[in-house]
Amino acid sequence: MFVFMFSYCLFHLDNCYILNVLLYRLQDVGKSKAEVAAKRVMERVSGVSIVPHFCRIEDKEIDFYNQFQIIVLGLDSIEARSYINSVACGFLEYDSDDKPIPETVKPMVDGGTEGFKGHSRVIIPGTTPCFECNIWLFPPQVKFPLCTLAETPRTAAHCIEYAHLIKWNEVHPGKPFDADDADHMQWIYSEALKRAELFGISGVTYPFTQGVVKNIIPAIASTNAIVSAACALEALKLISGCSKTVSNYLTYNGLDGTHINVSEFVRDKDCLVCGPGTLVELDMSSTLSEFIKMLEEHPKLLMSRASVTHEGNNLYMQSPEVLEQMTRPNLSVPMSELLKGAACATVHVSGMSENNGRKVSSLRKLRVAFKGVEDEASTMDTTV
């Protein structure tokens, strides 16, 4: 089974056939994209079963994603991609030789477009770079200094953001701005237009105001078709084994002709999301305090003043003071109890570590295993 994800559009297919169809009509404006897409495809293709889900991706339980063989992404933000990447990599388990256990690998195909540009990439956790390994590929978000907006606007975007970020709160204190409210957007446009006229700046239009406030990037149908076809092809390769997948990042640029390039990026073996982490063995009776002391003496870590988290829960925090006081009682509790009796568990620690003779702040992923306790995953038959 596949699970396809878009912004507020999530659906999975059982007997899956992929084709290019025009899914949406004018009368579909305001409806759930997932529900409309599912209905339209099932009308066009006999034998296909699609279950739409109209919700945020974070609203689904983690086990929901574990039922699928492949996850195909068409998300519109770095945050959403990072979330699903962490979910898929969270299913990944390693054997005693730090090799991925095949049954736990959840491949992902990620696609995205921006105007005439687009990309398609294949992520096989534990083998290829995951999203976090190459997050540097994404440029930083454009942000305007408030002093520029307030004192020396130079572009139409400056005038729009002034109305959006400054003027709205001055005129409507305590009233949240709703980007989907037409009256709110019209007010921002009017104020931005006044600001632009005051400083002799041109280019403020209602569509441009919507684009700046809602960070809208124009969608080009041909780009979307090419990138979605590339993603569908990679998903077909993964599920059928008919050919090698792309290695591992395909970019498309249709601005000046057609340019397609494939780049092979390198996986970060120390990645905090998809990496195996450093193995640390403990006695069943070892307390959290003893574990933190061990980190100071571990030759690969040499980490002092460590804070420890497990599955998003703070086991012990060095700061701020209020969290230190709240988590201090855990110091005397055995790690086996804090990790809920698991034979092997992943924890993240942050603190100060040695780097070329200097103390630097660092974050590490650790696999904690208890001596004398067998992990079910390590005894699995991994013969293919």
Q: What are the catalytic residues?
A: 147
Secondary structure of the chain as H, E, C letters: CEEEEECCEEEEECCCCCCCCCCCCHHHCCCCHHHHHHHHHHHHCCCCCEEEECCCHHHCCHHHHHCCCEEEEECCCHHHHHHHHHHHHHCCCECCCCCECHHHCCCEEEEEEEECEEEEEEECCCCCCCCHHHHHHCCCCCCCCHHHHHHCCCCHHHHHHHHHHHHHHHHCCCCCCCCCCHHHHHHHHHHHHHHHHHCCCCCCCHHHHHHHHCCCCCECHHHHHHHHHHHHHHHHHHHHCCCCCCCCEEEEECCCCCEEEEECCCCCCCCCCCCCCEEEEECCCCEHHHHHHHHHHCCCCCEEEEEEEECCEEEECCCCHHHHHHHHHHHHCEHHHHCCCCCEEEEEEEEEEEECCEEEEEEEEEEEEECCCCCHHHHCCCCC
